Each structure stands twice: as structure tokens, then as C-alpha cells.
Amino acid sequence: MSNTTTHVPGPAQSLPSARVLKLAAFAILAVVLLVAPAVLYPVFLMKILCFALFASALNLLLGYTGLLSFGHATFFGGGAYFTAYCVKILDVGPLTGILIGVGGAAVLGLAIGVIAIRRQGIYFAMTTLALSQLAYFCFLRAPFTNAEDGIQNVPRGTLLGIFDLTDHVTMYFFVLTVFAIGMFTIWRIVTSPFGEVVKAIRENEQRAISLGYNVNRYKLSVFTVSAALAGLAGSTKALVFQIATLTDVSWQMSGEAILMALLGGLGTLTGPAAGATVIVTMQNYLAATSVPVNVVIGVVFVISVLLFRKGIVGVFQKFSKAP
């Protein structure tokens, strides 16, 4: 009588298939993004990408670190203003202008973060809101911003002296590249040892302190990086729409980014991008109708909070892991 060993697949054996499915999903998404300009208006797609990166930058702070900031529009709009001014007035190239915008947003993030991270919970959120309002009035009064008129007719220029960014399709692929770099940066951060410490701070800050981590240093670092990424989104948006205005630095813009992150799924890599896609699409297609856009968005948000508390991507991940 021969012994027959029945092989029972364990949990570890499901990992390769899950990884294959994830890679397949990203491959499909990449193909969709590459062919999208042939189907949809490129400027609409670029708006989605800019706000997806903005919401993802905020998610790095809120979803992975647990810090709710109502002042991220300061970095988004600040990057837009710095880039628009440098490209239009100082006549620098679009790539240099974006780098200056990112650097300026990072400096603003460092300055605000030094003050804000000393507070926790609702006090942190209110501190960022107060400082963002201060920044708003500074941008309002600054001579280079042109107050309510903003910086208009910002030239897109030529990238590296080769690619004409006045062409919408060429500009789209440039924005797509910027978006991919930003998302890769976020992925690399959250999957690194630094990201593990940040998530530990989110779960239990006192325990992280007891393990010897300098919590304030980590919080300030992630706040500054998040601000820089928000500035990257704002700088790119200024070139796409060729304008930087006070709307970009208003607290309502921060609230919109929070809504996108919550709707898509906090603490997920692609959730904020999904939320941004839904919100921007609704704004775009409902604007030409008599339907009140803000009311519809509010209803969608309430339904999401009540029924899909983990957001679109969070719920999808939950059901995909179910036996």
C-alpha cells in the first residue's frame, strides 16, 4: 500500500497569483492612460492627473501618517504661483519652472511644518488651517501674484528644446510622466523603512516614541515631502491651464483634496487618484447642466462615508481578498 500525500495549497501560494493580478491591473491602467488622449479631451485628462497627484500627496500625510492638514492648498497654489512667475516673467523653461515651484512648496512646507507638528489631532488641523489663511493673504497682497487677477497667459514653452508643450497631446504625455514620477516617489516612501516608521506613528505615536524614534523629525520630513509633491501637482497644473490664481491657495482647495482622498480610500496608493477621477469627472460633465455640482458631490460623499468607509479602492481590496 503506497502512501499518498495530499498537497493542500497554503496562503503563501496565493501570493504569486495576487501579485500577477496586481501587475496585470497596472499594465491595463498603463495602456488606458497611453491611449486615453485618442478618446478623451487631453486637457480634461491632465486636470485629473494633476488633482490625482495632489490628493495622493495629501494622502501621504493623512492616510499613512494620520495627520489631517487643511493647509495643503498653500503648497499646491504656491507651487503654481512660483512656476507661473518664473516661466512668464523670468523666462525660464517649463522644467526649470516646475523644479522651482517644487522647491518653493518644500520651503513653505518646512516653515509651516516646524510650527504645526508640535500639535496633535484637531489642534494640528486647526494650526495648518490658520497658517494657510495667513499664506492666502500673503499671496493676495504680494505684488508678483497680481491679486485677484492672478498670473495669466503662462507660456508652456518647449521641453528640453525639443518637445512643443503647446500641443495638447505632447503636454499630456509630459504631465503623465510627472504624475508617474510623483506616484513612484510616494510608493517608494511608503514601502521603505521610513514609511514603516511613519505608519507606526499613525497607529500608536506613544509606542513609536518609546521605541526611540524621533517622532517630530519623521513627521516634519513627511510633511515637507508631501508639501513638495503638492507643489509638483500645482506647478504642473499652472502650465496645463496657463494660469495661477487665488483659488489654488484657498482652504476650499484643501477640502477638495481631502474629499478626493476620502472618497478613493485613505491609506491606499491608488485610492486618492480614483477619488480625484470621480470628482473631476462629475465637475466636468455636470457643469454644463442645471444640476448643482456641489450638492451632488456632497451626496456622493455622504453615501461613501456611510456605506463605503474605506473608499472606492479600499472596498475593492476588501472584496478581492475575501475567500
CA atoms within 13 A on the CB side of 35: 5
Return the C-alpha cell found at 179.
504624475
The pLDDT assigned to 231 comes to 94
Report d(CA 45, CA 88) in Å as an integer: 24
The confidence score (pLDDT) of residue 16 equals 52
Q: From residue 169, give the alpha-carbon distance in Å to each of 5, 30, 48, 156, 284.
A: 59, 16, 15, 13, 19
- At residue 18, the pLDDT reads 60
Collapsed DSSP state (helix, strand, coil) of residue 33: helix
Q: Give residue 17's pLDDT.
A: 61
Q: Read out DSSP for 142-182?
A: -GGGTGGG-EES----EETTTEETTSHHHHHHHHHHHHHHH
- The full DSSP string for 72-95 is HHHHHHHHHHHHHHHHHTS---HH
As a residue count, the chain comes to 323
Report how far apart the first and last C-alpha atoms of the chain are (Å, whole number): 36
Q: What is the DSSP string of 242-302?
A: TEE-GGGGSHHHHHHHHHHHHHH-TT-SSHHHHHHHHHHHHHHHHTTSSS-HHHHHHHHHH
| pLDDT, averaged in runs of 10, over the chain (323 residues) | 49 54 77 86 92 94 89 92 92 91 94 89 90 92 86 86 86 93 93 91 87 90 94 94 90 89 86 90 82 80 77 69 50
Please give the grid coordinates belonging to residue 180: 508617474
Q: Radius of gyration of the chain from Cα atoms?
A: 21
Q: Say what the pTM is.
A: 0.88
Q: What is the pLDDT of residue 227?
A: 94
pLDDT at 177: 93
Instruction: Give φ, ψ of 162 to 5 degrees.
Output: -120, -50
Query: Residue type for 122, please?
Result: I
All structural domains of the chain with their residue ranges = 39-250
